[in-house]
């Protein structure tokens, strides 16, 4: 004779998703359009304050992500504001075009 045991299942309480997990304030580093960054680059270059830019120096100066800085620098080259001085794989260096 075999005895079958009945498994008693108890439901585990599921944690409720709180709405406080959603960020209420938008982080500045993620919300800056590339167009605004390029305008800031153009104003700094026209003043003559900058000798060169790298993605890291731009990201530190404007408090943005490095990927956004890379995109902005490439866009500035397309517009003729900057030119590529050294196109190294890791850290490209950009100088003012004028």
The encoded tokens of residue 47 equal 């003043």
Cite the DSSP H helix spans in 1-98. Answer: 28-31, 34-47, 55-62, 66-79
In a domain, 77, yes or no: yes
Residue 51 and residue 85: Cα distance in Å, rounded? 11
CATH number at residue 68: 1.10.10.10
Residue 28 has pLDDT above 60, yes or no: no
**Residue 84 phi, psi (nearest 5):** -80, 120
Domain range for 95 is 50-98
In a domain, 74, yes or no: yes
Q: Identify the pLDDT of residue 33.
A: 87
Q: Identify the pLDDT of residue 59.
A: 93
Number of structural domains (the chain) is 1
Residue 24 has pLDDT above 60, yes or no: no
Provide CB contacts within 8 A for 50, sequence distance 6+.
Answer: 44, 96
pLDDT digits (tens, 9 = 90+) for 39-94: 999 999 999 888 999 999 999 999 999 999 999 999 999 999 999 999 888 889 99
DSSP letter at 53 equals B
Say if CB 61 and CB 41 are below 8 A apart.
Answer: no
């Amino acid at each position: 004779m075999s005895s079958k045991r009945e498994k008693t299942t108890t439901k585990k309480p599921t944690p409720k998703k709180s709405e406080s997990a959603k960020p209420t304030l938008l982080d500045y580093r993620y919300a800056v359009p590339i167009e605004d960054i390029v305008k800031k680059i153009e104003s700094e270059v026209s003043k003559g304050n900058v000798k060169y830019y790298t993605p890291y120096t731009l990201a530190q100066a404007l408090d943005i992500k490095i990927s956004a800085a890379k995109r902005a620098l490439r866009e500035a080259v397309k517009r003729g504001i900057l030119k590529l001085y050294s196109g190294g794989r890791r850290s490209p260096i950009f100088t003012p075009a004028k």
